[in-house]
Structure 1
Amino acid sequence: MLLRGAEPTVALALFLVCLSSLLPFLWSLLVLQALAGIMWRPWIVIGIRREQVETAVTKAAGMVRLKTERTDAAFTLTGIGTAHVTSFGPWLHLVGFRIRRTKKLVLFQNVLRKTIQNYTLSP
């Protein structure tokens, strides 16, 4: 399952609201979470392994003719920015983008979305 756009931000906000009912000082985390959601627009990927997410980023970049350089958890996409993959478990990952808004970025994100959805549909 892929949550993108506002859905990951809302999902995390709902989790923090539920947690804040137990610990009131966590309300301040909602402000930080809202700022991070607005700035990085993360995607949440549930149900596939980290290797599959990394392979999907590499494949999507190749399909739109972007050169990639891989560091530990980041992929530098030549000409448009970086994509970061952070794992919170074997089946839960956060994909964040620090990228300039271009037509090539929109194409890359659409291809990446379709590639990730194909992984979740395959057995």
Structure 2
Amino acid sequence: MRRAAIWFCDCSAESPAGRRSLCYDRAALDARKAHKPADSAADRAAAMGVALLTEEQYRALQQLGEFDLKTSSWIDTPPELRARGGALFCDRRYGRVFTYHNGAESYYAARGFRAALVV
């Protein structure tokens, strides 16, 4: 028997200001030797009881409106990519949604994360 679920997701125009300037996860935060950010996106999401959006969820969100026109958001990264030191993020530019990669330890003032809660 399949259970119905309700998804709650960030719908702010830009990646929320209080959740920016974060590297991807705890391993990335621990790997930084200098200029460490305050936290990681994965740890902050876990503390909030939510999960980073997957690429599929991020693209579905973008069907509801235009988000991250000036910011970008870390998304859930497949383990095989994360094992190589990378992490994925998305944004919308030029009327299109893009998925990019970066070193998981990187962080930028305009990169945060979007999350979902399933009830």
Q: Same fold, TM exceeding 0.5?
A: no
Select the structure with the greater relative contact order (CA < 8 A; seq sep ≥ 6).
2
Structure number, greater radius of gyration: 1
Q: Please give the TM-score of this superposition, normalised by the length of structure 1.
A: 0.30
Q: Please give the TM-score of this superposition, normalised by the length of structure 2.
A: 0.31
Q: Whose helix fraction is larger, Structure 1's or Structure 2's?
A: 1
